Structure 1
Amino acid sequence: MVATLQVYLYLIFFLVIFALCVWALVDLLRRPPAAFPSAGKRTKSFWGAILGVATAVSFMSIPPPIGLGFLSFLGLLSAVGAIVYLVDVRPAVAPYNRRRGPRGPSGGW
């Protein structure tokens, strides 16, 4: 019974990591490329490579029958890439939208 609970917790843990990576990647794809240098961050291509690899590795680390079940340690490292993007880069590029530059403090112009 305890072993079964551990297996389910392990599965949930790696599913959460995968969801975090997918969230970060989808958010990245919605941001304009010019927002990254304007906010003083690395380029969108750099973060796209980091988050693309992190998403693929996190999927491979999900235990079977959903994922492949290997690279578990790298799955943990992929969470680090997604967390750094979501905590540091995303708030910096969030004020920029696709059509215009940064929004004012009230959200308007």
Structure 2
Amino acid sequence: MELVLLTEMWLFRVLGYVALGIELWAFIDCIQRKPASFEATFKRTKSFWLGLTAGAAAIGALTALFGGIGLFGLLQLAAIIAACVYLADVKPAVSEVQGSSGPYGPW
């Protein structure tokens, strides 16, 4: 029984670090995008997504430090969903608009 609890604890810790990596990836990618690209794709504003991904990364860091128990676990779930929505929906749309300035890339 003790081995099961230890395995579960390490599994949640590893998943927390994976989630933190995804959240940091979303935050760093959001920093690098131009604000006009967000508005051109009707995906809210850069400030909105920057705040959302920064909050997700902060929650991910707290969860990685203190574990995903109780309220932290619920907040971590919301944080990873926000980061995944950015990476799956907003990032491709913004990348398409930002990279379309010329036939071979930006001029």
Question: Is the TM-score greater than 0.5?
Answer: yes
Aligned letter for 1:78?
A: A
Name the SS for the 2:66 alignment partner.
coil
CA distance in 1, matches of 2:37, 2:48: 13
Listed as ranges, the matches of 1:8-87 within 5 Å are 8-62=10-64, 67-69=65-67, 71-87=72-88
Q: Report how many residues are paired.
A: 100
Cα RMSD after superposing both structures? 1.7
CA distance in 2, matches of 1:54, 1:45: 14
Structure 1's unaligned 5+ residue stretches are: none
More helix, by proportion: 2
CA distance in 1, matches of 2:41, 2:104: 17
Task: Tell me the TM-score normalised to structure 2 length.
Answer: 0.84
Distance 1:86 1:57, change over 3 A: same
Q: Among the aligned pairs, what percent are the same residue?
A: 33
Q: Is the 8 A contact 1:17 1:76 kept in 2?
A: no
Q: CA deviation at 1:107?
A: 4.2
Q: Which moved more, 1:12-21 or 1:70-79?
A: 70-79
